[in-house]
């Protein structure tokens, strides 16, 4: 093609594709602005939720249960996407346990166990709920709660220990001992209290753990013994 034809072809391409290119640029800019605004909104939500959570904890420290409950309800309604709603419910559950209101504590823990977006918080709530149910004299309910716990969590040792406690409450000594042994077999990062678990196991008739054998002394190579002896013999031979 001649130079003139090439120029005309480029102009036709620009006329045909410029609107689409411009639309793509506008969409990209709009998406970037929208992302930034959404991030800013999330940050504002998190800050507001954190402030209300702090107020709820402060109210509990002053024994103002009504204010703390109102703030926790507001967090659940308006800031459910933030972790502060779950943390406020866990704080209220602890408060009710300390006040010996186990039914209210169980209600808050069940709420977090079934509704939290964080899988680790769901496991923590399940573990605490089982402890509350056991303290309330309901070992069967505690075992049912523990049976639905996911496998391989960071709380595996604690879950096994509470299962052992509930089985011991029911008089199932063999089952309790097996649960304690499972807790002891958990990896170190599971955070098991080995001393307490060994005491519980021993109370059920388990043999105490054998102490670690002392390290054997390092073998001395024959050359290391022969060298000083030869040196001593040589010294005695001198006049």
Q: What is the count of structural domains for the chain?
A: 2
Which of 113, 138, 163 finishes a domain? 138
Contact 75, 85 (CB under 8 A): yes
Q: Is residue 179 part of a domain?
A: yes
Q: Would you place residue 213 in the very low, low, confident or very high pLDDT band (cuts 50, 70, 90)? A: very low
Query: Which residues lie closer than 8 Å to 105 by C-beta, 6 or more apart?
Result: 92, 93, 94, 96, 97, 132
Residues 161 and 188 in one domain: yes
Q: Is residue 216 part of a domain?
A: no
Q: Is residue 105 part of a domain?
A: yes
CA-CA distance, 104 to 102, in Å (whole number)? 5
Q: Is residue 239 part of a domain?
A: no
Q: Which domain holds residue 100?
A: 62-138
Q: Is residue 181 part of a domain?
A: yes
Which of 138, 164, 193 finishes a domain? 138
CA-CA distance, 38 to 211, in Å (whole number)? 58
pLDDT at position 10 is 64
Q: Is residue 19 part of a domain?
A: no
Q: Is residue 16 part of a domain?
A: no
Q: Would you place residue 131 in the very low, low, confident or very high pLDDT band (cuts 50, 70, 90)? A: very high
Q: Would you place residue 47 in the very low, low, confident or very high pLDDT band (cuts 50, 70, 90)? A: confident
Q: Would you place residue 35 in the very low, low, confident or very high pLDDT band (cuts 50, 70, 90)? A: low
Which of 111, 138, 165 finishes a domain? 138
Q: Is residue 129 part of a domain?
A: yes
Residues 132 and 155 in one domain: no
């Amino acid at each position: 093609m001649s130079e003139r034809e090439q120029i005309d072809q480029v102009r036709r391409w620009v006329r045909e594709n410029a609107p689409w290119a411009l639309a793509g640029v506008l969409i990209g800019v709009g998406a970037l602005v929208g992302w930034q605004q959404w991030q800013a909104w999330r940050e504002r939500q998190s800050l507001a939720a954190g402030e209300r959570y702090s107020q709820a904890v402060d109210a509990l420290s002053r024994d103002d249960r009504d204010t703390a409950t109102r703030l926790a309800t507001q967090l659940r309604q308006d800031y459910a996407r933030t972790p502060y709603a779950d943390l406020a419910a866990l704080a209220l559950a602890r408060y009710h346990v300390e006040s010996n209101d186990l039914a209210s504590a169980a209600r808050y823990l069940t709420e977090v166990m079934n509704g939290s977006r964080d899988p680790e918080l769901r496991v923590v709530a399940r573990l605490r709920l089982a402890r509350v149910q056991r303290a309330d004299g309901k070992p069967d309910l505690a075992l049912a709660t523990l049976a639905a716990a996911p496998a391989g969590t960071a709380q595996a040792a604690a879950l096994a220990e509470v299962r052992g406690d509930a089985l011991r409450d029911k008089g199932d000594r063999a089952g309790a001992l097996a649960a304690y042994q499972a807790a002891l077999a958990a990896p170190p990062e599971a955070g098991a209290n080995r001393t307490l678990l060994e005491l519980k196991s021993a109370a059920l008739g388990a043999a105490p753990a054998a102490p670690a054998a002392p390290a054997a002394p390092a073998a001395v190579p024959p050359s290391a013994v022969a060298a000083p002896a030869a040196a001593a013999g040589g010294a005695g031979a001198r006049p």
